[in-house]
Structure 1
């Protein structure tokens, strides 16, 4: 998020694009044949890009992840993301630029999301700065950054019905919450406080507080100090099964605004949703490297 709070950007690299209808229709047999660098910008002139690409578009090394025209690479302790994508309808245009993420430290923390470890959350850099330089007026800014990863050996909808996640910056670092309801009815509820030195510790959970439903009526909740409420300050992404937004809350007496996500996997399982997603997520099977 920008320091002024009016703009934000998210970038997700996928091997096995979990939200791609093409990957689902393929039977999820070959994750490397459904790869993507998803870029979304939020605020004035925001765009959404998510192209499902085939195996020929994927190149990897220990420090570099390339998908067609875009890449992520580690260089001198920074994550550099070069993007060259086409946004989806209704605003179709090219999105080009560079995002540089500089972590304050890399953590060693990880959280299994299911008892058998089939899904794992790995917060690599909960505290970071980002520098955004995208070729549009007003899209050169600095702000709060964050870098994590999720790994899984099963589809999300096979194990979960609903989850929320939030990352909130604090004076000393950042606080993250992960809450989920599994299909078997069991609950995951976890909170971590991260220092700028990379140290992580589990924390007692403040109570849940409801947020207004999203534009698609996705249920949303986060956590706040007793007696405090949370509210959305910037709408980001609204989908029939998913919501991402900037949310203001109060934690340990400190008012903070962070990024919040809610995911309704009961809706995502609907076969009626996949053709709708295909409009926003085009498939490009072949790629030739120059």
Structure 2
């Protein structure tokens, strides 16, 4: 697992994250878990990067486990923690009381968090079992500062939470991103989606770079972990969020929002219906406006959703 080991070096002002999302087989529930070193959407990390004449920012002093539950009940936790909360090795990552561990066959995530903005316990275990692990990596920007790897696009998840009491299983996805510069430095916006199907998974990754160039990835991932390029489908536009965030995507037919999972001032995550690889599919879709994130108004709003302990 050298390409995505949890003890990889993270550059000053940079970041690394490991991302898991899943929807339940019955369609009632969903979860996203993101482990960050250098919490890219933390107002505290953004302010730290402004220090030292704009060259500050220790990613290890801003780490977190972001957990979001969808359906009923809904929960959100994203506590930005200091470097004393971080322990890691090639196959484990501990952030405060929560942690991730890879045993060669499955990723086990032990969650022990407090929700925001209204405090409650979020506790339990999420186990992700890949059908295969992919090794292909992608450069997302023109200068080679940002990389993405779909580690296990075809996985199964078992969710067993104690608080709130909740158990379910379903198709899951696992990837990682890393970079040596802030996202907002090199990107204006991006959208992404993954659509699991019976024998393959489609992934789309579209980025509008700050230098005026763009990238559009369209991929097919098979059960043996092969990641193959396919022709990007035509561009589609879906209904904007309540915060007026655009939700562009690509689809071989109509694409529409089934439900909005996260509606934030600069970011959305949605469940959509789309058509990819010649098949109708339910997909998880994300849309990110980094111009919105750069706004000073965000720094006043985000601490309510991203608290930071005093020690």
TM-score bracket for this pair, using the shorter chain length: over 0.9
Deviation at 1:284, TM superposition (A): 1.7
Aligned to 1:230: 255
Deviations 1:158-192 (A, max 9, x none): 01111000000122120100001111111111111
CA distance in 2, matches of 1:257, 1:176: 12
TM-score by length of 2: 0.89
Aligned to 2:40: 18
Q: Which runs of 5+ in 2 are unaligned?
A: 1-22, 50-55
Moved more, 25-34 or 194-203: 25-34
CA distance in 2, matches of 1:273, 1:145: 31
The one of 71, 89, 93 equivalent to 2:99 is 71
**After the TM superposition, which residues 171-250 of structure 1 pair with which residues of structure 2 at under 5 Å, given as runs?**
171-225=198-252, 228-250=253-275
**After the TM superposition, which residues 30-45 of structure 1 pair with which residues of structure 2 at under 5 Å, given as runs?**
30-45=58-73
Aligned to 2:120: 93
Deviation at 1:119, TM superposition (A): 0.4
CA distance in 2, matches of 1:133, 1:171: 24
**Kept after mapping to 2: 8 A contact 1:211/1:230:** yes
**Kept after mapping to 1: 8 A contact 2:101/2:107:** yes
**Kept after mapping to 2: 8 A contact 1:53/1:285:** no
**After the TM superposition, which residues 111-150 of structure 1 pair with which residues of structure 2 at under 5 Å, given as runs?**
111-136=138-163, 139-150=166-177
- How many residues in Structure 1 have an aligned counterpart in Structure 2? 283
**Kept after mapping to 1: 8 A contact 2:78/2:305:** yes
Deviation at 1:116, TM superposition (A): 2.0
Aligned to 2:86: 58
Moved more, 189-198 or 20-29: 20-29
**Kept after mapping to 1: 8 A contact 2:145/2:181:** yes
TM-score by length of 1: 0.95
